[in-house]
Amino acid sequence: MTTGELIRSARLQARLSQGDLAERLGMPRSSIARWEVDAVEPGFTALRRVLQACGFDLSTTLIPFARDPGRDARVREVQRLTPQERMRGMVDRVDEE
C-alpha cells in the first residue's frame, strides 16, 4: 500500500471529502489530492497528522524485516548492468508478453 492509498483509505473510512480533510488540516484541497495520487509524498509527521485528522494513527512499533535472499541477489545482478543493458532487458520482457 502506498502512502497515497493509505491517506485515501483513511479519508474515505472517516467519510470525509478531500475538501473536508483539507479544511481540518488548514491546507489546500490540492495538497490532499497530490498526496492521494502519490505525486507528492508527505513526511512522517505530516502523514500522522493527516491520519489523526481522519481519526486514525500509525503504529510506531518496530517489527523485524524478513530479507528475501533471492530478491537481494536479483537486485545485485541488475545493479551490475549498465543503463542500456537494463533497458534492453525491459524491452525484451515486454516483447515476450
Q: What is the CATH number of domain 3-53?
A: 1.10.260.40
In angstroms, the CA 43 to CA 34 distance is 13
Please state whether the predicted TM-score (pTM) of the whole model is above 0.85.
no
Domain ranges in the chain?
A: 3-53, 68-97
- Say which residue, 49 or 65, is predicted with more confidence: 49
User: Is 80 exceeded by the pLDDT of residue 17?
Assistant: yes
Furthest-apart CA atoms within the chain: distance in Å: 50
pLDDT at position 94, please? 81
Amino acid at 65: F
| Low-confidence winner among 24-33, 35-44, 55-64 (lowest mean pLDDT) | 55-64
Torsion of CA 26, 29, 34, 40, to 10 degrees: -10
